[in-house]
Amino acid sequence: MATQETPSFDFDDLKQEGVNRLVFQPIGLLAAVVRTLPNAAEEGRRVVEGPLQTAKFVGDMAAGVMKAKYGAQISDLEGKVSDVRRTVEGAADLVIKTAQSRVGGFGADSQPHPTATDHDGAGEATVHEAEGSETVGGIVGYESMTAAEVISHLDGLTIVELGEVEAFELEHRRRRTVLGRVSKLREERH
């Protein structure tokens, strides 16, 4: 029968390993950082500058090739983007003016809506008509709104306006979340 050896356990080795890891290694690491810190910026610059210069060169070359090959199309596209930007800015101005008029005349249905075109009073197109949106219950652009957007406008509406929203929903989209919120607001106000 063979005897089994038990490994020997040396507390002195364990203590020495603990001291090395907890005391001497952190001190050595700190000393190494202090020694290399003055040169760290230069080393970092050297590591980064080469690849950065290469990337810039490649980017400049690619831009040059694209401009030579597609220059006319790029110029044409820039013109179209400029046209779209002007159109969007004009639409944004209309929306802002509409919002300002609605806030200024809130609750006053006799307030005239701002006009997108002026033809001496004959056949004036309102901002809403020009944008192709519809006002339902005092909410401008109602048809293009999500249920969450509509719900965010409901608290400021009168009972009559809530009725208009409910009627529109029942006739068209039948969104349960909108109808539920309208119903709850009408109950709270009675």
Q: Give 56-92 as a DSSP string.
A: HHHHHHHHHHHHHHHHHHHHHHHHHHHHHHHHHHHHH
Task: Give the mean pLDDT of the chain.
Answer: 76
**Which pLDDT value is given to residue 5?**
66
pLDDT band with cut points at 50, 70 and 90 for residue 126: very low
Please check whether residue 137 is in contact with residue 165, taking contact to mean a CB–CB distance below 8 angstroms: yes
Strand, coil or helix: 136: strand
Burial of 150 (0-12, 13-18, 19+ CB in 10 A): buried
112: pLDDT strictly greater than 50: no
pLDDT digits (tens, 9 = 90+) for 23-72: 888 888 888 888 877 777 787 777 778 888 888 888 888 888 887 888 78
166: pLDDT strictly greater than 60: yes
Query: How is residue 186 written in tokens?
Result: 């009408």
Express as a percent the part of the chain with pLDDT over 90. 15
What is this structure's pTM? 0.33
Number of H helices, E strands in the chain: 6, 0
Please tell me which residue, 103 or 66, carries the higher pLDDT value: 66
**CB neighbour list of residue 98: distance below 8 Å, 6 or more residues apart:** 113, 114, 127, 128, 140
**Which pLDDT value is given to residue 190?**
73
Residue range 85-103: mean pLDDT, rounded: 73
Express as a percent the part of the chain with pLDDT over 70. 76
Q: CA-CA-CA-CA torsion for 14, 20, 21, 25, nearest 10 degrees?
A: -170
73: pLDDT strictly greater than 50: yes
Please check whether residue 127 is in contact with residue 114, taking contact to mean a CB–CB distance below 8 angstroms: yes
Owner of token pair 């001497």: 24
Any idea which of 63-77, 90-104, 124-138 has the lowest mean pLDDT?
124-138
